[in-house]
Chain A
Amino acid sequence: MSTPKQIQLSHGGGGREMAELIGKLFFEAFDNQILRQEEDAACLNMTGPIAFTTDSFVVSPLFFKGGNIGKLAIAGTVNDLAMMGAAPQYLSCGFIIEEGFEIAKLKEIVETMAAELHKSGAKIVCGDTKVVPKGCADGVFINTSGVGRIIKPGISVHSVRPGDAIILSRDIGCHGAAILAAREGLELETELQSDCATLWPMVEQLIAANLELHAMRDATRGGIAAVLNEWAKAANVGIELSEEVIPVRDEVRGVCELYGFEPWDLANEGTFVIALPQEIAADAITVMHQFCNCDQARIVGTVTDTNAGKVILHSPWGSKRYLELPAGELLPRIC
């Protein structure tokens, strides 16, 4: 019998086919000592405070310019740990695969994940695979959870305080715009790539520079508008941004013009914001500028004790307005 090219329900059945899939595909790509033990649970040696996070990835389309769902699943969870000042160490990985999904595509996703893991040094130490009948999932869904040792304690939304500078690591909206462009029905052609990236290397250097980081967060769904609103509410401070200095590339502007979106509402997957004392902002930016992913890092705003709970955007036209938490589906505006 020849090996099937598509995922069969039997691949999730717990029998021979599943063992083969796991052995040939997952173990080979994610190989490490802990995973190889094949116990019911991974045994880890950890001391001190740890950060623990989980995220599920259901992106459509699965493959896009600048990455695929696998890259997102690793970078996303690793970044959540990094943003808490934790070195990403161990990840779990659960796949929910739709019957009929091409094994070649799955292989590509898994290999991308393995490559992305190398960027932080984190390891996948346990996993799970389920196959659901055709139509019950959209290709493949991935869940990753991760733990990491907290190297820099005290990074927290509650530590954002008046007088802090807000640093943005790069131009915004690339992931959201790239996904939209790739979406069926839009048929847009663009060179635009998702910003999807592992952020630990930059964070590691920021920590090594011994800078007083108050808060850090990657601006994923809801964009920088969501993150900064969360900070303003959680820390009960005001945040003032200058529209002029927030970098947005032309293609992202183009997608926004076409559909009436705002770049601050669009998702990012490798872009983060930092709140830290104004006087050390320049030092942080110097560290960030060593990385090509952050060569546009800059101060985009400040934290104030007025307008608590609100984010205010100052426009180059001299006007100001509230930057709201994005709400509702991201639907094109026609009018």
Chain B
Amino acid sequence: MCLSIPSQVVELHPEIQSVTVDTLGVKRTVSCHLMEEPLAVGDYVLIHIGFVMNKIDAASAAESLALYKEIVDKMEAADA
């Protein structure tokens, strides 16, 4: 329902319960008050109104993307 943007953690600030994230070259500091598990630099996260909502499971995302690639490759092979 609400706008939430995939971003990557680039800096940790545990003393203020926040992290700096990068969204396509735009960096900002957001709160991780809603995160129980610790975050690491390089993690992909979803941000909503200044908070990390959740980690994005990179393996699952990669799996989906691989599936899509397969679909498209098949389509292009069929078209060729």
Chain A residues within CB distance 8 Å of chain B: 181, 186-192, 250-251, 253-255, 257-260, 333-335
Contacts and interface: CB of A to CB of B under 8 A. Distances in A.
A257 B48 CA distance: 11
A186 B24 contact: no
B79 to A, nearest CB: 16
B2 interface: yes
Contacts of B59: none
Given A254-B23, A257-B23, A258-B23, A335 B28 contact: no
A212 B23 CA distance: 42
A189 B26 contact: yes
Contact of B24 (A187, A250, A260, A333): A250
A211 to B, nearest CB: 36
A335 B5 CA distance: 12
Interface of B: 1-3, 5, 20, 23-29, 47-49
B26 to A, nearest CB: 4
Contact of A192 (B3, B25, B48): B25
A207 B28 CA distance: 44
Given A189-B26, A251-B24, A257-B23, 8 more contacts: A181-B26, A187-B28, A188-B26, A190-B27, A250-B25, A254-B23, A254-B24, A334-B2
Chain B CB count within 10 A is highest, among A186, A251, A254, A259, for A254
Contacts of A333: 3
A326 B48 CA distance: 25
26 contacts: A186-B28, A187-B28, A187-B29, A188-B26, A188-B27, A188-B28, A189-B20, A189-B26, A189-B28, A190-B27, A191-B25, A192-B25, A192-B26, A251-B24, A251-B25, A253-B24, A254-B24, A254-B26, A257-B5, A257-B23, A258-B5, A258-B28, A259-B3, A334-B48, A335-B2, A335-B3
Contacts of A186: 28
Contacts of A253: 24
Please provide the 8 A-B residue pairs with the shortest distance between their CB atoms, ordered closest to farther: A254-B24, A254-B26, A189-B27, A251-B25, A335-B2, A250-B24, A254-B23, A190-B26
A31 B66 CA distance: 64
B26 A334 contact: no
B42 to A, nearest CB: 18
Contact of B3 (A187, A189, A254, A260): A260
B72 to A, nearest CB: 14
A323 B39 CA distance: 40
A209 B29 CA distance: 50
Nearest to B22: A254
Contacts of B48: 334
Given A260-B3, A334-B2, A334-B3, A255 B29 contact: no
A290 B56 CA distance: 44
B49 A190 contact: no
B25 A254 contact: yes
A310 B24 CA distance: 32
A261 to B, nearest CB: 11
